[in-house]
């Protein structure tokens, strides 16, 4: 006869696997053009998984936990990109132009007597997409491994590296909103995996 604990572990594992797969598919669909509905559904799936592992005192077995950890890591790293981009788009109301190198385009203030719209355009915050992926990898793996201090290390390194580019209000706003949304997503997914496997 199968014990109720084994059935509960099996049900929880199947639920986590399917929900994380579903969230990952929705996130991958949104990578090219972030859309609100798939991202909200992916977020709801992650929150439901987090609630399930928080309420359940049973840990996923090691071998299955490894699969859930890899799936969760992929979701934490990939999911932050469309979610952060969508949040930045909502926050800026589409007024900030994106550059070719992952940054934002800023116009230098025009000189008195110059024609409106003239002025040098420069791209700041270049490489934001790549930095975002790297920060989510570090934070997700750090939390799963039991090293939440990785968050402080990542924020400190990112702040030092971007300090000279934070002179304009647009750059500061993008830095703060982008970093927070990216890190919150990575932390929630990593916490879910950590609670499920440890």
- Listed in order, strand segments (DSSP E) in 29-158 are 104-107, 121-124
Average confidence (pLDDT) over 166-191: 89
pLDDT band at 60 (very low <50, low <70, confident <90, very high): confident
The predicted pLDDT at position 99 comes to: 75
The predicted pLDDT at position 184 comes to: 97
Give the pTM. Answer: 0.86
Judge contact between 180 and 187, C-beta under 8 A: no
| Mean pLDDT score of the chain | 87
Residue 7 has pLDDT above 70, yes or no: yes
The predicted pLDDT at position 155 comes to: 92
Rounded Cα–Cα distance for residues 175 and 166 (Å): 8
Rounded Cα–Cα distance for residues 158 and 126 (Å): 13
Burial of 195 (0-12, 13-18, 19+ CB in 10 A): middle
SS3 76: helix
Residue 11 has pLDDT above 80, yes or no: yes
Q: How many domains does the chain have?
A: 1
pLDDT in tens, 94-121: 777 777 776 777 766 655 555 555 567 7
Average confidence (pLDDT) over 29-41: 94
Q: In terms of residue numbers, what domain contains 184?
A: 4-197
Residue 2 has pLDDT above 80, yes or no: no
């Amino acid at each position: 006869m199968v014990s109720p604990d084994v059935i509960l572990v099996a049900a929880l594992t199947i639920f986590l696997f399917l929900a994380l797969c579903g969230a990952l598919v929705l996130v991958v669909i949104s990578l090219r053009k972030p859309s609100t509905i798939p991202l909200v559904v992916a977020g709801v799936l992650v929150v439901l998984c987090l609630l399930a592992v928080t309420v359940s005192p049973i840990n996923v077995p090691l071998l299955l936990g490894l699969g859930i950890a890899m799936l969760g890591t992929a979701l934490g790293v990939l999911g932050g990109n469309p979610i952060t981009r969508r949040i930045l788009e909502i926050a800026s109301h589409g007024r900030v132009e994106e550059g070719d190198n992952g940054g934002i385009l800023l116009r230098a203030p025009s000189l008195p007597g110059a024609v409106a719209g003239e002025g040098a355009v420069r791209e700041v915050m270049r490489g934001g997409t790549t930095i975002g992926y790297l920060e989510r990898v570090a934070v997700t793996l750090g939390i799963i491994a039991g090293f939440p201090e990785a968050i402080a290390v990542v924020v400190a390194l990112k702040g030092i590296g971007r300090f000279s580019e934070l002179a304009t209000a647009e750059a500061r706003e993008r830095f703060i909103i982008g970093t927070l949304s990216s890190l919150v997503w990575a932390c929630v997914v990593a916490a879910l995996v950590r609670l499920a496997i440890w």
